[in-house]
């Protein structure tokens, strides 16, 4: 989402990094480029003005730390201002109400509202350990109720049935009573898509809000609409008091204007961002982490959380027991590693959060596309059980058969086998005593008790 903005800012900061000191002249030149980059990212003009003013004021009044270069000091100021514009601190959900805490999900049609409701249900069940109930009050879109019912089943939470013959008020009041009687921790209410200019639909959602008195009223907006998403949320908030925003489709080609404009224009925090179609592609919004990613500084903490959430926590003891066995690392194990990488969002998602990932050349990034994982999985799936267990038997005739079965070329099969052999050699080294060293290295990079904020 922020690739273009990150590239432009990186080029801009390179120009000031070599300067011996910060002056009003070189600050002004740099800020002019920063301003252009933000406007091209579709950040609202009022936000850009406030941001530039804040950076200039801090830069001219700050003494340069003797341990930092003037360029590093300037980047530090820009990062602090980005965090301030996006909201300083992470804004957590308010679940302190007497159970069940009601979360009302609103937004225009097509923004990913129903999908976000399902994702949020999974987040509350898995991360917050809550007993969750979903209900759909959308009686206007034929497939809305069925879609949410399927999502609820997929993510492992309960669904309160409703149908188009009922009124939305009747649906939500019944669902709330059911949630109270059955001791649910949270009730998530998916409403019909509407805009603030639609008086009839707005009157309906206001009536729902009055009837159930939600602890959270979350507005779902599409990041692809840029700063217009923030203006839409602001207008909606004037009719219905919002408590936060869920920004969807941030994995697309959006330029970043929505994320950078939202808090400033609406006064409402972004609480979650949708990063893909999968039900686990919902992340808590940390302004400080996103600022680091925008500036090309990586987001290692989010990367670690991806591993813990989608793959599982790997402790040193568990890691040691895995590699200390006499089992041979074969193509079945290699396939398992590929599937885990895909669960974590693929190569591009992982690289974007690692140090230096955003600064990789375009030709290198293009080779690290997620389709490569799909192709590798397809090749291994075209092998027999015997071939996966003993890859050394895969000679020319077998390679041709595997290539034909997977729709790939023989050279693709050769490439996969080479990558597998490299992985196998690394695993063998770890089995010979490298595990302890690797664990010590990991501990040195990530100290115990690190902050996730």
pLDDT at 73 exceeding the cut of 70: yes
**Is 194 or 253 the better-scoring residue by pLDDT?**
194
**Nearest alpha-carbon partner for 3 in 365, 294, 396, 372:** 294
Within 8 A by CB and 6+ apart from 409, the residues are: 403
Percentage of the chain beyond pLDDT 90 is 30
Residue 108 marked in a binding site = yes
CA distance 179 to 187: 7
Residue 325 has pLDDT above 60, yes or no: no
Map residue 160 onto helix, strand or coil.
strand
Q: What is the pLDDT of residue 142?
A: 74
3-state secondary structure 242-291: CCEEEEECCCCCCCCHHHHHHHHHHCCCEEEEECCCCCCCEEECCHHHHH
- Of the given ranges (12-21, 62-71, 252-261), which has the lowest mean pLDDT? 62-71
User: Does the structure show a pLDDT above 60 at 315?
Assistant: no
Look up residue 42 and give its DSSP letter.
T
Highest mean pLDDT among 49-63, 264-278, 301-315, 375-389: 375-389
The string of pLDDT tens digits covering residues 169-218 is 999 999 999 999 999 999 999 998 877 667 888 889 999 999 999 999 99
- How would residue 105 be classed by pLDDT, with cut points 50, 70 and 90? very high
pLDDT of 348: 57
Q: Which carries the bigger pLDDT value, residue 255 or residue 289?
A: 289
Q: How much of the chain, in percent, has pLDDT values that exceed 70?
A: 71
107 is in an annotated binding site: yes
233 is in an annotated binding site: no
- What is the pTM (predicted TM-score) of this model? 0.64
Residue 200 marked ligand-binding: no
Q: Which of 82-91, 223-232, 342-351 has the lowest mean pLDDT?
A: 342-351
Give me the domains of the chain, ranges plus CATH numbers. Answer: 3-86 (1.20.120.140), 101-297 (3.40.50.300), 303-445 (1.10.260.30)
Pairing of β 158-160 and β 270-274: unpaired
251 labeled binding residue: yes
Are the beta carbons of 431 and 324 closer than 8 angstroms? Answer: yes
Query: How many other CB atoms sit within 10 Å of the CB of residue 241?
Result: 12
> Distances from the Cα of 396 to the Cαs of 339, 342, 405, 424, in angstroms?
27, 29, 14, 21
pLDDT confidence tier of residue 4, bands split at 50, 70 and 90: low
Please tell me whether 12 is known to bind a ligand.
Answer: no
Closest CA to 203 of 437, 52, 424, 211: 211
The residue behind tokens 């267990």 is 389
Identity of the highest mean pLDDT range in 89-93, 180-184, 260-264, 311-315: 180-184
Torsion sign over Cα 333, 334, 335, 340: positive
Backbone angles phi, psi at 74, to 5 degrees: -65, -45
pLDDT reading at 123 higher than 90: yes
The answer to whether the annotation marks 18 as part of a ligand binding site is no
64 labelled as ligand-binding? no
pLDDT, one tens digit per residue, over 354-410 is 444 444 445 444 545 567 788 889 999 999 999 999 999 999 999 999 999 999 999
Return phi, psi of residue 365, to 5°: -60, -40
Among 16, 17, 37, which Cα is nearest to 28's?
16
Q: What's the half-sphere exposure (Cβ side, CA atoms, 13 Å) at 285?
A: 26
In this predicted model, what pLDDT tens digit does every residue of 7-53 receive, in sequence order?
667 666 666 665 556 667 777 878 888 888 888 888 888 888 988 88
Tell me: is residue 328 an annotated ligand-binding position.
no
114 is in an annotated binding site: yes
- pLDDT of the residue at 114: 93
Please tell me the least confidently modeled range out of 91-105, 229-243, 434-448.
Answer: 434-448
Distance separating alpha carbons of residues 82 and 416, to the nearest angstrom:
42
Burial tier of 325 (Cβ tally within 10 Å: 0-12, 13-18, 19+): exposed
Which pLDDT does position 179 carry in this prediction?
Answer: 95
């Amino acid at each position: 989402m922020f690739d273009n903005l990150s590239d432009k800012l990186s080029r801009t900061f390179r120009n000031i990094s070599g300067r011996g000191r910060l002056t009003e002249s070189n600050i002004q030149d740099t800020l002019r480029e920063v301003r252009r980059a933000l406007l091209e990212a579709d950040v609202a003009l009022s936000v850009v003005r406030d941001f530039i003013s804040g950076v200039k004021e801090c830069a001219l009044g700050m003494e340069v730390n003797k341990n930092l270069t003037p360029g590093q000091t300037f980047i530090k100021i820009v990062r602090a201002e980005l965090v301030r514009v996006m909201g300083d601190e992470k804004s957590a959900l308010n679940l302190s109400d007497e159970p069940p805490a009601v979360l009302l999900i609103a937004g225009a049609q097509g923004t990913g509202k129903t999908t976000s409701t399902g994702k949020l249900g999974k987040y509350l069940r898995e991360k917050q350990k809550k007993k969750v109930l979903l209900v759909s009050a959308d009686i206007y879109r034929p497939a809305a109720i069925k879609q949410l019912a399927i999502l609820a089943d997929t993510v492992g939470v309960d669904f309160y049935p409703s149908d188009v013959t009922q009124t939305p008020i009747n649906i939500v009041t019944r669902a709330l009573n059911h949630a109270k009687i059955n001791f649910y921790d949270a009730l998530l209410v998916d409403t019909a898509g509407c805009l603030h200019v639609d008086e009839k639909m707005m009157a309906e959602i206001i009536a729902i809000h009055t009837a159930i008195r939600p602890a959270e009223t979350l507005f779902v907006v599409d990041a692809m609409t840029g700063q217009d998403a923030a203006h839409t949320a602001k207008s909606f908030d004037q009719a219905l008091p919002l408590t936060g925003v869920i920004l969807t489709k941030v994995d697309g080609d959006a330029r970043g204007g929505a994320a950078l404009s939202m808090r400033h224009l609406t006064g409402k925090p972004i609480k979650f961002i949708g990063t893909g179609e999968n039900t686990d592609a919902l992340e808590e919004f940390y302004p400080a982490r996103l600022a680091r990613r925008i500036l090309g500084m990586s987001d290692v903490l989010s990367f670690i959380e991806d591993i813990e959430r989608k793959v599982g926590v790997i402790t040193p003891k568990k890691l040691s027991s895995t590699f200390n066995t006499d089992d041979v690392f074969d193509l079945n194990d290699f396939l398992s590693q590929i599937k885990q990488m895909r669960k974590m969002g693929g190569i591009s998602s992982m690289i974007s959060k690692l140090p230096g990932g955003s600064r990789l050349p375009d030709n290198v990034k293009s080779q690290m596309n997620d389709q490569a994982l799909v192709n590798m999985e397809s090749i291994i799936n075209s092998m027999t059980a015997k071939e996966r267990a003993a890859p050394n038997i895969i000679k020319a005739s077998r390679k041709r058969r595997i290539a034909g079965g997977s729709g790939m070329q023989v050279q693709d099969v050769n490439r996969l086998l080479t990558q597998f052999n490299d992985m196998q050699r690394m695993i063998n080294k770890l089995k010979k005593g490298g595990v302890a060293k690797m664990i010590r290295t990991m501990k040195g990079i990530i100290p115990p008790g690190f902050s996730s904020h």
